[in-house]
Amino acid sequence: MKKVITYGSFDLLHPGHINLLKRAKKLGDYLIVGLSTDRFNSLKHKQSFFSYSQRKKIVESIKYVDKIIPESCWKQKKKDIRKHNVDVFVIGNDWEGEFDELKELCKVVYLPRTKGISTTKIKTSLRGQE
């Protein structure tokens, strides 16, 4: 079985998230999502609209996702790859080159983002309408 892993906050779920998860799943048989915890998001200076437990409930309902694990720090990726016997690490190409050190453990794929949509863009748009 070929295992794939990706990470993210997946807040305000949108078509770009679904596209990423769908394309990630096509790279293997089993998709693991490392979902950023609220505490980790705070350390990244990000604030999610939905709590970790709410985001987990949403993401685990997506048919492409087989397993969700909490992402609590930047450095856990190597440990997760080893622990879950991951074959492919996938992330959006806005992170191009940032995770190349993982190539010693598995294949690293940077997928193109869905044009015209992002959680940041949605939040900015909503703030403008308040």
Catalytic residue ranges: 44, 46
Tell me the HSE value of 74 on the side-chain side, using a 13 A CA sphere.
Answer: 6
Which segments of the chain are extended strands (E)? 3-8, 30-36, 67-71, 88-92, 107-111
Structure tokens that stand for 130 in this block:
């308040």
CA–CA dist 74, 33 (Å, integer)? 14
